[in-house]
């Protein structure tokens, strides 16, 4: 299905005509989001979450955000989505280079539970500080109780599901 169309604006002389080509190749319709390419050496580490493409959600893997905003009759869908993006950015930035899984955001009533797996890259005291810091600041901004429920792994290779 190779279609290349030339759209020429009429009324303009041919020397300075504006040409626009529209590509409608079949490869242009290919889904690429959330999929990873196989590397020549087969050494790209993938977590379970990364190993399963988005169409496997609700089959092999679950959602990263759990809330009732998008069900029928749910309230605040837009605000929830924006807040989730903000929480993800804040958490990954605050726990810099420590999160080895995705940030999982679960909402129950007005509580927001932020879960995930982190690497034991910093000491326990720093970790406790960061937990308190994240909870305090996020609950101030979002005006609701925040709970951070983290698991730690010794090495980031612990969460690797496969190499491609």
Find residue 10's DSSP bridge partners.
Answer: none
Minimum separation from the CB atom of position 118 to another protein (A): 10
- Separation CA 107–CA 79 (nearest Å): 13
Query: Is 27 or 123 the residue whose CB approaches another protein more closely?
Result: 123
Find residue 106's DSSP bridge partners.
Answer: 66, 113
Residues 67 and 109: beta-carbon distance below 8 Å = no
DSSP state for residue 71 in the 8-state scheme: S
Query: Is 22 or 62 the residue whose CB approaches another protein more closely?
Result: 62
N residues, the chain: 164
- Separation CA 153–CA 161 (nearest Å): 14
| Region from 13-21, 24-32, 34-42, 70-78 binding another protein, contact rule CB under 8 A | 70-78
Give the residue, chosen from 81, 135, 152, 164, that forms a contact with another protein under the rule CB under 8 A.
Answer: 152
Structure tokens at 49: 């979450």
| Region from 4-12, 19-27, 38-46, 112-120 binding another protein, contact rule CB under 8 A | 112-120
Binding footprint of another protein, residue count (CB under 8 A): 48
| Footprint of another protein (CB under 8 A) | 47-49, 52, 59-64, 66-69, 73-76, 80, 100-102, 104, 106-110, 113, 115-117, 120-124, 142-144, 149, 151-154, 158-159, 161
């Amino acid at each position: 299905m190779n279609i290349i169309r030339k759209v020429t604006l009429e009324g303009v002389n041919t020397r300075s005509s504006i040409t626009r080509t529209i590509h409608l190749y079949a490869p242009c319709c290919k889904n690429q989001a959330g999929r990873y390419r196989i590397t020549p050496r087969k050494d790209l580490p993938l977590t379970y979450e990364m190993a399963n493409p988005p169409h496997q959600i609700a089959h092999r893997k679950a959602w990263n955000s759990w809330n009732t905003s998008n069900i029928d009759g749910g309230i605040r869908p837009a605000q929830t989505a924006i807040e989730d993006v903000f929480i993800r950015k804040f958490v990954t930035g605050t726990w810099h280079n420590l999160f080895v899984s995705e940030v999982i955001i679960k909402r129950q009533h007005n509580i927001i539970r932020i879960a995930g797996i982190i690497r034991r890259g910093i000491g326990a005291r720093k970790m406790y500080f960061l937990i308190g810091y994240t909870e305090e600041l996020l609950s101030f901004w979002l005006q609701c109780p925040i709970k951070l429920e983290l698991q730690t792994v010794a090495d980031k290779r612990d969460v690797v599901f496969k190499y491609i």
